[in-house]
Amino acid sequence: MNLHELITARRSAIRVKWQKLILESYPANARDFFQNRKAHFQNPVGAALENQTATLLEALCLGLESVNDQALVEDWIKIRAVQNFTPAQALNFIPLLKLTLRETLGSDIHTEQLSLQMQNLETRLDGLLLTAFDRYMVAREKLYEIQAGEWRRQSYLALRMKTVCNGETSIAGEKES
Amino acid sequence: MSQGKLKPEELARITYQPPAKSWTDPTVEFRKGVICYGAVPETLNYLDLPHAKKWQPTDQDWKLPPDWKKIIFEGMRDRLMRFRSFKVFMDICVRCGACADKCHFYIGSGDPKNMPVLRAELLRSVYRRQFTKAGKIMGAMVGARDLDEKVLKEWFYYFYQCTECRRCSVFCPYGIDTAEITMMGRELLNLLGLSIEWINTPLANCFRTGNHLGIQPHGFKDSVEFAVDELAELTGIKVKAPINEKGHEILFVAPSADYFAQPHYFTLLGYLALFHEIGLDYTLSTFASEGGNFGLFHSNEMMKRLNAKIYSEAKRLDVKWILGGECGHMWRVLHQYMDTMNGPADFLQVPKSSLTGTVFANAASTKMVHISEFTADLIRHNKIQLDPSRNNHWNATFHDSCNPARCMGLFDEPRYVLQQVMKNFHEMPEDTIREQTFCCGSGSGLGTDENIESRMRGGLPRANAVKYVRDTKEVNLLVCMCAIDKATLPPLLEYWTPGVEVAGLHELVGNALIMKGENERLTDLRGTPITKPLENKQDAA
Ligand code: SF4
Ligand code: SF4
């Protein structure tokens, strides 16, 4: 059995354990809510967790090489970026996957070939962590951009009020808003 | 074990876990990006509010007056006597939990104190301790807590993380309205000069000039004239927009943002075009130049003070009834409180459309009609000509703004209008619309920039439903009827759901409206060429 087959065979145990670890970053009531409230539109955080862990594991089973890393982390990162977490906390779901894999599969990694595959996978996950960090920065920068946009909107409003109320007909900066 | 001895993955796991805390621990961290700035002394002084001081919520020292606890307890006693709803809401919650997972702030953050039941419990626990026998004797055993500075800070933190949207109240079997508990919490904080700048500056402006933006009468007049000119450029028709003229049938009141902000302004153009086309006999007022009322987010007294201008201007201008524009919270005040606060308006008549003969019996008491009801009635009676294809470049969904939806039950009129003025319309999932609608996450005075992170997570459930129709139905426009929505949904969608714009209902009415003698319309009211027709799409329902 190679590592991909091993992961495929243990996929649901890995997923349950990994989700549980990720959810530890939330208070107890929220863990239940995020995990158990199945209605997608009533629980977008839980739905994103479900979805993102499923696609990431699916990609692992298939070997990860052919997939778009960004799509594997994007939704979850955007959520974590606005939930009061430090950057390390926000991105920790990938180290937690490594931890889960080692704890779940550790006793099965007894051949040299498997342990080599595991090392490769971990390196690959390190790469994914870097992608996740990039996406986290994109999300945070977007927040600041939006914040700056709010300031611009306010000064545009003030400018427009001033211009209109002075009877001028063209409004500088109008295109920007 | 010291951290140095941990393996890297163990370290990762440990830094990841927040400390387990009981809900009774009131400690909160005021982080940048999450909390609004404190009110400055100038505005509090202008409004004759007590304990004005230079202060920020992030300060250690909140400069409380020495007898602050006494002030709070007396304030609570006074409100328990004056507001029966407050007393009832303090007593009757059975902690069934039906409301717990209904708040967008809880759904987006997982912070348990954003569960409506716990938000209310922050105040209720102090009420129990101070005002109930059981709480006085048994204390924590019956969920009672002493008031101290940490609890006060916790109140501030969570009562300014509630948008007073009332979604939770829809699910409470006892009808407990946590929004009203938040209002009481904010009133109590006001007694110590603890409020936020984003609410108090508009209040001071409104008190001075009649509108939140602080536009003076001549400025208001100029802005209306500017809009009239712009509409003439777009349509070839110069409309009349009377201001402060006595003896017209109707006083029209809109949120002041409609006169200046984007995309609100296009809705104003829509109103002006419509009123011209049907020959509406109306006037605007420079003093009642604001339908919105940030007093609602501050205190009962402030709301009443600011609302008084509407009836007083209706009387001065000698109109028969009042028509109101696309604002959200304005309608909560007008529909639920105005009549008893500043009415009865016996000098006005029960609103009747002179064009269709329809009597708006629902407004028999307040004498004020929502523009979507008015326009729906016009369309129903074939009083206007429409070309829905002029909105073909839009593929829309409709966001029920919290207040028109949950405070007025206004669900069908805007949808009816929308489906008459455009062809491409799709509903969001049913558990996210109508009375169950999700808040924009920025209402009740929280729509500022310093708490942007909190707004984004609060608005996640709304944006998530928009994303669904964007991805499955190619929706590119979110239509709403609220000035706060028009300001706060664009940044929300920019973060979660890029590619979807925001518009008011009457902007689309204005686009579709065929005006007698108009030039051929080459652009919509935004000046965007009408060139990219989408295939017509409409939900079967
Ligand atoms: S009123 Fe709205 S924001 Fe406030 S607790 Fe209820 S659901 Fe949450
Ligand atoms: S639904 Fe009503 S009774 Fe039940 S916990 Fe919430 S506020 Fe209390």
The interface predicted TM-score (ipTM) is 0.92
Domain that holds residue A112: 3-165
Q: What is the pLDDT at residue B3?
A: 40
Task: Find, among B183, B212, B208, B289, the residue nearest to B45 by Cα.
Answer: B208
3-state helix/strand/coil string of B454-510 = HHHHHCHHHHHHHHHHHHHHCCCEEEECCHHHHHHHHHHHHHHCCCCEEEEHHHHHH
Q: What is the pLDDT at residue B18?
A: 53
In-domain check, residue A8: yes
In-domain check, residue A170: no
Atom of ligand 1 nearest to the CA of B458: 3
Q: What is the pLDDT at residue A149?
A: 87
Q: What is the pLDDT of residues B283-299, one digit of tens each?
A: 999 999 999 999 999 99
Q: What is the pLDDT of residues A31-88, one digit of tens each?
A: 999 998 778 999 999 999 999 999 999 888 777 665 677 888 999 999 999 999 999 9
pLDDT band of residue A172 (cuts 50, 70, 90) is: very low
Residue A27: DSSP 8-state: -
Tell me if chain A has a CB within 8 Å of the CB of B175: no
Mean of pLDDT over chain B? 93
The structural domains of chain B, with segments of one domain joined by +, span: 9-195, 203-540
pLDDT band of residue B530 (cuts 50, 70, 90) is: confident
pLDDT of B2 > 50? The answer is no
In-domain check, residue A172: no
Residue B31: its chain A contacts at CB < 8 A? 84
Q: What is the pLDDT at residue A36?
A: 85
CA distances from A73 to A76, A88, A100, B143 (A): 6, 15, 17, 42
pLDDT band of residue B493 (cuts 50, 70, 90) is: very high
- The stretch B205-219 carries a mean pLDDT of 91
Q: What is the pLDDT at residue A38?
A: 79
Q: What is the pLDDT of residues A2-30, one digit of tens each?
A: 888 999 999 999 999 999 999 999 998 89
Q: Which of B26-30, B101-105, B183-187, B313-317 is least confident? A: B26-30
CB nearest to B495's CB, from A24, A83, A146: A146
Q: What is the pLDDT of residues A104-144, one digit of tens each?
A: 998 888 899 999 999 999 998 999 999 999 999 999 999 99
Residue owning the nearest CA to atom 5 of ligand 1:
B116
B187 CA distance to ligand 1 middle (Å): 17
How big is the CA angle at B147 (ends B142 and B150), to the nearest 5 degrees? 115
Mean of pLDDT over chain A? 86
pLDDT of B5 > 90? The answer is no
In-domain check, residue A175: no
Domain count, chain A: 1
Pocket around ligand 1: residues whose beta carbon is below 6 Å from it? B 102-103, 105, 116, 119, 162-168, 178-179, 182
Atom of ligand 1 nearest to the CA of B439: 2
HSE-up of residue B534 (Cα within 13 Å, Cβ side)? 19
B330 CA distance to ligand 1 middle (Å): 18
Residue B399: DSSP 8-state: -
- The stretch B213-219 carries a mean pLDDT of 90
HSE-up of residue B461 (Cα within 13 Å, Cβ side)? 29
Q: What is the pLDDT at residue A131?
A: 93
Taking residue B46's Cβ as centre, other Cβ atoms within 10 Å add up to: 17
Helix then strand then coil, % of chain B, to nearest 5: 50, 5, 45
Report whether B502 contacts B484 (CB < 8 A). Answer: no
Q: What is the pLDDT of residues B88-139, one digit of tens each?
A: 999 999 999 999 999 999 999 999 999 999 999 999 999 999 999 999 999 8
In-domain check, residue A155: yes
Q: What is the pLDDT at residue B540?
A: 42
Q: What is the pLDDT at residue B12?
A: 56
Report whether B286 contacts B210 (CB < 8 A). Answer: yes
pLDDT of B20 > 60? The answer is no
Angle in degrees, 0-180, between the axes of helices B264-278 and B371-380, rounded to the nearest 10: 40
The two three-digit tokens of residue B219, written as one number: 């400025």
